[in-house]
Amino acid sequence: MSNERITQAQELLARFPENDLARFSLAQALLAGDDQAGAAEHLRPLCAKKPDWMVIHILLGKCLLAAGQRDEAQALLTHAHQLAIAQHHDGPREELEALLQTV
C-alpha cells in the first residue's frame, strides 16, 4: 500500500511541483514507507518556505534525529516548540517538550 501511496504522491507533485500540499503529501507517504531521508528532502524546502508550519518542522526534526543530526534536529524542534506555544497547540507542545529532553 505504501508504495502505491508514494507513487501517487510523486505523480501529484510532478503535476504540481510548486504545490506545498503535494510536496507535504509525498513527504508523509515516504515517512509511512519508512524513508526518512527521502521525506527530509521534501520537508527541508517546506520548512524554508513556511517557517510557521509547525508540523513540517516537527517531522523534519524527527527525521534528522533518526539520521543522527542532533544539532540541526534540536534547532528545528525548538522552533516547532515555540510555534506550538504561540499557536496554542498543547498536544504538540507536550510532545516536543518530551522529545527535546532526549536530544
Query: What's the pLDDT score for residue 46?
Result: 98
Domain locations along the chain: 2-102
pTM over 0.85: yes
Architecture of domain 2-102: Alpha Horseshoe (1.25)
Q: How many Å apart are CA 89 and CA 54, to the nearest integer?
A: 10
Q: Kindly give the confidence (pLDDT) of every residue in the chain, 103 residues in length, as a single tens digit, with 9 standing for 90 and above.
A: 579 999 999 999 999 999 999 999 999 999 999 999 999 999 999 999 999 999 999 999 999 999 999 999 999 999 999 999 999 999 999 999 999 999 9
Q: For residue 75, give the amino acid letter.
A: A
Query: What is the chain's Cα-based Rg?
Result: 14
Quickly count: other Cβ atoms within 10 Å of residue 73's Cβ.
21
Query: What's the pLDDT score for residue 73?
Result: 97
The residue behind cell 510548486 is 18
Query: What's the pLDDT score for residue 11?
Result: 97
